[in-house]
Amino acid sequence: MEALNGETERLKKEVCLAVRQLFERGLIFPHGGNVSARLPGSSEYWITSNVYKGWIQPQDLVKMNLKGEVLEAREGVKPSIEYPMHQAVYERREDVNAVVHSHSPVTTGLTLAGVELQPITAEAGLLLKKVKTVPFAPPGSQVLAEKAAKQAEGGTLALLLQGHGVVGLGRNVLEAVGVVETLEGLALTQFFAMLAAGRVPTIPVEALKDLEGVE
Ligand SMILES: [Zn+2]
């Protein structure tokens, strides 16, 4: 039990570190973005709340189960309105233990403009195979949760929420954060290439075949 408590505390600290890092990088905002994580195999998860994200601490997280019930929260603290989306993903993906929802400006801007991310680097070529777009649905709605979870099926690593933001999925917090940060870097590089060249140059498709299986 003590070991489990240690694991839970570590998990909560990781969530807070991720939130503060994404906040400082301008990928999540006081009213945009949320992070959750669970211990592998658990049907309970910890999610960010209505507390200011730049200063978030482990005691500001809310513990929930997959029925949408709050199991632990300090007084006055409510779970993120996006908990239905996190819950729906956990229900459908046993391998996912962390969900990072950001409002990454460049990735979201390109998605909103209808510009598809392209294989501009080998890294992009591999990652984009596991990225899916989710048509617009109101934030916090059950409709968004269902649409997102459906697209998260299979081996999806990231969702581009049209007119909203990005969702990174991972076996742990670091993986999910990494997906969101990598996508924003790629989106920024593609945007610069578009500005400079007026089009999106891509790497040769044949080169990507040699990279199959490389993670
Ligand atoms: Zn959002």
- What is the domain-level CATH number for residue 92? 3.40.225.10
Determine the distance separating the centroid of ligand 1 and the alpha carbon of 48, expressed in angstroms: 12
What pLDDT does 210 receive? 64
Distance between CA atoms of residues 4 and 109, nearest Å: 41
Contacts of 109 (CB under 8 A, 6+ apart): 187, 191
Task: Answer yes or no: 72 catalytic.
Answer: no
Q: Cα dist. 101→65, 69, 95, 140, 183 in Å?
A: 19, 20, 17, 12, 12
Q: Which residues have beta carbons under 5 A from ligand 1 (an ion)?
A: 165
Residue 179 lies in a domain: yes
Determine the distance separating the centroid of ligand 1 and the alpha carbon of 155, expressed in angstroms: 22
Residue 215 lies in a domain: no
Decide which of 164 and 124 is more confident.
Answer: 164
Residue 214 lies in a domain: no
Determine the distance separating the centroid of ligand 1 and the alpha carbon of 203, expressed in angstroms: 32
The catalytic residue among 44, 72, 75, 82 is: 82
Model confidence over 32-54: pLDDT tens digits? 999 999 999 999 999 999 999 99
Note if the pTM is more than 0.75.
Answer: yes
Q: How many domains does the chain have?
A: 1
